[in-house]
């Protein structure tokens, strides 16, 4: 279970880190209209369009780009910890926290 927070306030609980990231994108898009998630995979042209530089050689099918305002980062896999680090790099007000199911039950009591 993954908890999405904004400035330490819980936005929601999600079954995957990717679902939490989608919610972040939705919330930020409503707020600032300058947020996007681009699945570039191995598409070197898509990477170049965003970063305006040649991509690293290690692009894989799982690569995607998070854009939030002027902050842009490449996330190289869909591993929860890579997603969490990517979100932290583009916006430190938001966080994805992995929790045990027991933690969520305690908060809900």
Q: What is the mean pLDDT of each run of 10 residues along the chain (109 residues)?
A: 97 97 95 90 95 91 95 95 97 95 53
- Give this prediction's pTM: 0.86
Q: Is 52 left (phi over 0), alpha (psi -120 to 50) or beta?
A: left
What is the structure's pLDDT at 109? 43
Q: Return the beta strands (E) in 1-109 as ranges.
A: 2-6, 9-14, 35-39, 64-68, 71-75, 94-98
* pLDDT recorded at residue 103: 53
């Amino acid at each position: 279970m993954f908890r999405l927070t904004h400035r330490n306030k819980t936005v929601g609980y999600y079954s995957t880190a990717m679902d939490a990231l989608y919610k972040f994108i939705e919330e930020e898009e409503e707020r600032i209209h300058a947020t996007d998630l681009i699945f570039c995979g191995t598409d070197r042209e898509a990477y170049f369009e965003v970063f305006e530089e040649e991509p690293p050689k290690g692009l894989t099918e799982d690569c995607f780009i998070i854009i939030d305002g002027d902050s842009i980062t490449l996330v190289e896999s869909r591993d929860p910890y890579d997603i969490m680090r990517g979100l932290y790099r583009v916006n430190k007000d938001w966080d994805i926290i992995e929790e045990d199911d027991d933690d969520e039950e305690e908060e809900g009591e």
